[in-house]
Structure 1
């Protein structure tokens, strides 16, 4: 597709499309890096003013493949084992470290650690224990790892460095017949499907997730599907009294094919760390700029309404994504991270991350209906009523998922309906 260079003095990456790629008719970043512009001019892109914390000096197209909080913690632990500081590892080196294991279809070379780019059997309990160590001890991990744990460390690097988000998770391949679990960031043998697994029982005080979070997210996924929201298959993986939430990867259809993926953050350069800076109305604008059909607009409207009613206030611009098929056609991805996320005392989830009619809180059903009218949503008020009714049945979804009674009550009390 192209090449990226890194200027250590400017702390800036410059991307250039490959001339042969420009002839293929694919547009992997049409909003800010359109190939048509590259064909008629200098096919180089750099973005000096993008927030460094989020984009790290790279265009959104590439920054989307960088690991987030947990993935970076894993990489930084590996760096400590190599005698390097995290500041000595440039963003381009981080991409090369990800190599073939990025979410979506992009791959990066030269690969810095090729030994981890192979499919191996993994044990969930072992991965969970090491994930907790990474969360607790970060840079001190090296001193606490026994020599026999070096392979375990490689395993968590294999499964835990590329999936986005803050919460500890693993990208796995699961064989339903044999129940084997393998690393899922590279191609697995026939018979395996690809999943993202979120660890239950890994505690991070910065996030304040309740115990049993996997069951809560599973109940939410069932509730969202009932509300007409498109999601891939979700499951609970029971293991030693824990319930890990799993969702099938939508960028890896069975057979090992890869689909190119871009978050709204990457596509539009909407910084997901800038709470309240961007709106759902702007998300609809991008959907139209990509020339997606009416179904995509209505689907995003349903997701917006659900987030408001069910208190998913972790609704930032990385939690909306788009997929491009092999013919270059874009579509809205299935929903993901559809979760209960509300902490009135929290820095992030005390308010919604994206605004509606200029509001991050105090959003009413009237506000939602007005957005529906602005976006020409058919039956918008009926859709709102339908979703409110589905969320009112939260206790039923929660009990079926095995959520604790006290959590059912406390979560239900925060849902919106007026």
Structure 2
């Protein structure tokens, strides 16, 4: 039996356990936490003293036998690959290391604010500069050749090992190869994001450019993807969308997209975050099953403001005009403050996505459609969102105006010509 205590901001909120060989974990709130009347999972797992939650209807491929609130803390594709390498290095069997064990490996290093004890001890992270080149090498080997990676993880002549940097990759969510880092904007110095911040350092996330087969759905990202995502960040800011500060980190002819973490405050404190997938128990792999109407409904269930609803509508229009068809249920987030009030997170993962089997159409529907949208569809959604009359036209015009400048911006950023042409051919600029 693997058991973990779950903590939020230093307070025990509950306990999660999973027997070896079992597929589904059990979760129970701590009675003392229930008395606080703060709901971290109000829709699928409301506070209830003595009740043991187990969700056998959730597909293991998405939730790994865990409740949504807890499953959000697990690493995704890239992080799990790195954990598998660590298991091999330490002589552990993957089949005997269940989801609760992976939570304990994550410990206090996960995205968001949940922490899990007891922590499985790993090699101590050293406070030293990180070389992006080494992180890229690790990521490429993780996706391509585990045997090569295992060899590379042996100590080098200076007594160091790439195990030192495993921790910065296993914590971040998503399929794409990335790392959580501490970044000094003045010196561009990069250190581990898992340690207390040094003066002038900030919590950032870096997505690696030039790593084969690290994209969502197991596909290769095109060359220049970091520049492309940065160009979409600029478009989002032009549309008035709330996003964290972002920039490009260039080295060895590669351009990596960087963004400040919204789950950390200025002092490094943790913010409690849940995805749309987690809070509603919606399956990330179910393409086209869920809708933007459901997203707005969830926001109302969480008593969010009308201004938050309108901000979300603006992001939806951005996804439609900009052809971001990787708009799945994990790419929308909510955050809860210490009083139990909910809001939307800053926007993230806003980038062009079109072409594969999974992103051939939008993942979330509007007016029962995942493609071939017309103005009436946006008008329907605006009415559903209770926006002022004709607001959809204003938002659409602002978004189209912004994306009308994209091609020139792509030229300025030196995005590869083939990628420029493909993106330009899919933008929805005429309505």
In the alignment, is residue 11 of structure 1 matched against residue 26 of structure 2? no
Q: How is 1:202-213 mapped onto 2 (pairs within 5 angstroms)?
A: 202-204=211-213, 206-213=218-225
> Which residue does 1:55 correspond to in 2?
63
Q: 1:126 aligns with which of 131, 134, 139?
A: 134
- The 3 A distance-change label for structure 1 pair 255 and 118 is farther
Residue segments in structure 1 that go unaligned for 5+ positions in a row:
none
Local SS of the residue matching 1:147:
coil
Cα distance in 1 between the residues matched to 2:357 and 2:128: 39
Please report how far the alpha carbon of residue 146 of structure 1 lies from its aligned counterpart in structure 2 after TM superposition: 4.3
The residue number in structure 1 matching 2:248 is 236
One of 352, 372, 388 as aligned partner of 2:362: 352
Aligned to 2:169: 160
Q: 1:313 to 1:139 in 2, by over 3 A?
A: farther
393 and 402 in structure 1: CA distance in 2 versus 1, 3 angstrom threshold? same
Q: Give the one of 241, 245, 259 matched to 1:247.
A: 259
Measure how far apart 1:366 and its partner are: 2.2
In the TM superposition, residue 330 of structure 1 has moved relative to its aligned partner by 1.1
Partner of residue 53 from structure 2, selected from 45, 53, 69: 45
How far did 1:316 drift? 0.4
Which stretch has the larger CA shift, 109-118 or 237-246? 109-118
| CA displacement, residues 307-335 of structure 1 (integer Å, 9 cap, x when unaligned) | 11111111000000011122221110000
Scaled by the length of structure 2, the TM-score of the pair is 0.91
Q: For residues 240-271 of structure 1, what are the alpha-carbon distances to aligned partners after superposition, in whole Å with 9 as ceiling and x for unaligned?
A: 21111001000101112100000000011011
Q: Are 2:101 and 1:89 equivalent residues in the alignment? A: no
CA distance in 1, matches of 2:296, 2:326: 18
CA distance in 2, matches of 1:258, 1:381: 38
Q: CA deviation at 1:159?
A: 0.6
Among residues 380, 385, 390, which one is paired with 2:397 in the alignment?
385
- How many angstroms does 1:401 deviate by? 2.8
Q: Distance in 1 between matches of 2:23 and 2:92?
A: 18
Query: Distance between the aligned counterparts of 1:99 and 1:124, measured in 2?
Result: 25
Distance 2:383 2:316 in 1: 14
**Cα 1:187–1:114 shift into 2, 3 Å:** farther
Q: Give 2:87's match in structure 1, choosing from 79, 90, 102.
A: 79
Shift of 1:115: 3.4
5 Å matches for 1:60-209? 60-116=68-124, 119-138=127-146, 141-143=149-151, 145-148=153-156, 151-204=160-213, 206-209=218-221
Offset, 1:5? 1.0
CA drift of 1:119 comes to: 4.4
Aligned residue in 1 for 2:44: 32
Q: In the alignment, is residue 298 of structure 1 matched against residue 306 of structure 2?
A: no
Residues 223, 397 of structure 1: 8 Å contact kept = no
Give the structure 1 partner of residue 277 of structure 2: 265
Give, in whole Å, the separation in 2 of the partners of 1:237 and 1:390: 24
Q: Take 1:119 and 1:83, find their aligned partners in 2: how far apart are those partners? A: 26
1:339 counterpart = 2:351: yes
The alpha carbon displacement at 1:163 in A equals 1.0
Q: Compute the TM-score of the two structures, normalised by the length of structure 1.
A: 0.94
Structure 2 CA distance for aligned equivalents of residues 132 and 308 of structure 1: 32
1:47-101 residue CA offsets vs partner (Å, 9 max, x unmatched): 1111110111110011011111111111111111122332221000000000111
Which one of 342, 365, 375 corresponds to residue 365 of structure 1?
A: 375
173-182 or 308-317, larger mean C-alpha shift = 173-182
**Measured at CA, do residues 139 and 368 of structure 1 come closer, stay the same or move farther in structure 2, by a change above 3 Å?**
farther
Cα distance between partner residues in 2 of 1:139 and 1:25: 50
SS of the aligned residue for 2:179 comes to strand
Q: CA-to-partner distance for each residue in 1:149-206, whole Å, 9 max, x for gaps?
A: 9844323321101211111001101122343211113432232111110001111174
Higher deviation after alignment, 391-400 or 321-330: 391-400
Unaligned 5+ residue runs, structure 2?
1-12
Q: Look up the SS of the partner of 2:116 in the other structure.
A: coil
**8 Å contact kept, 1:280–1:355:** yes
Match of 1:226 among 207, 224, 238: 238
